[in-house]
Structure 1
């Protein structure tokens, strides 16, 4: 597991190509959204239909790229050892507004099926903490997603 984390981080450090770095960043964001989706161990039809749209809006990409990113994130996320793999990349590259947009998308996907699972809530709170967002921001984003 530690070897996989080292490999993931070294890939990011060794990648001089800005396009590849941008892809790794988008992949990390997609993995975080998928963590919320699979927190309750199932992907509802509402979550499945909302995920590409939220990803496209959050990362400013087209729906085809969003769908490809989701498929890649499913593979990458299953090999992940912790949320830190993803949040560290996000912290290094996202502005506070982009982090807030990502957490908002996480809340929206969590509420997509009509109810919030305790595990979804826990993952979002952990991610927000790792992204250095204030608790008040987290609550505001949750309330915005519920509206």
Structure 2
């Protein structure tokens, strides 16, 4: 009876952590996967594998990290802020590897989506990759010659 008269308030959500390179990468991977509005199990699995391999963590830790990154991607800064963190903390060669990883997420479901490719181009540009390298990443990922 009292519950109806005095409903409990939902606790305030925990504040999101400040993005670092790990969270910025995860959030950008999630952003690529969300770009076509079809966030599916294949993309989620690919993100978890990338996080696990990149940061040498187990699958459970990678899934937990991805969950934080999903919240961060939804509520946090735009792409350029995440990319700035990575530009400052990751050398160019490794940023190229991040581009490859993002393409693997975009293509994890077996389909090319214009929205994902547009998002990828924005991220690659924000990461400071050259036009030549961006084109090479796209061709490598899609099997174009």
Q: Same fold (TM over 0.5)?
A: yes
Cα distance in 2 for residues equivalent to 1:140 and 1:84 = 22
1:115 corresponding residue in structure 2: 111
Matched pairs, number: 129
Check conservation: 2:99, 2:124, Cα contact below 8 A: yes
5+ residue gaps, structure 1, are 1-7, 13-23
Cα distance in 2 for residues equivalent to 1:138 and 1:59 = 24
Q: TM-score, normalised by structure 2?
A: 0.79
Q: TM-score, normalised by structure 1?
A: 0.78
Cα distance in 2 for residues equivalent to 1:118 and 1:89 = 26
TM alignment of 1:77-92, pairs within 5 A? 77-92=73-88
Check conservation: 1:108, 1:146, Cα contact below 8 A: no
Cα distance in 1 for residues equivalent to 2:23 and 2:96 = 17
Cα distance in 2 for residues equivalent to 1:133 and 1:62 = 30
2:36 corresponding residue in structure 1: 40
Check conservation: 1:52, 1:66, Cα contact below 8 A: yes
1:104 corresponding residue in structure 2: 100
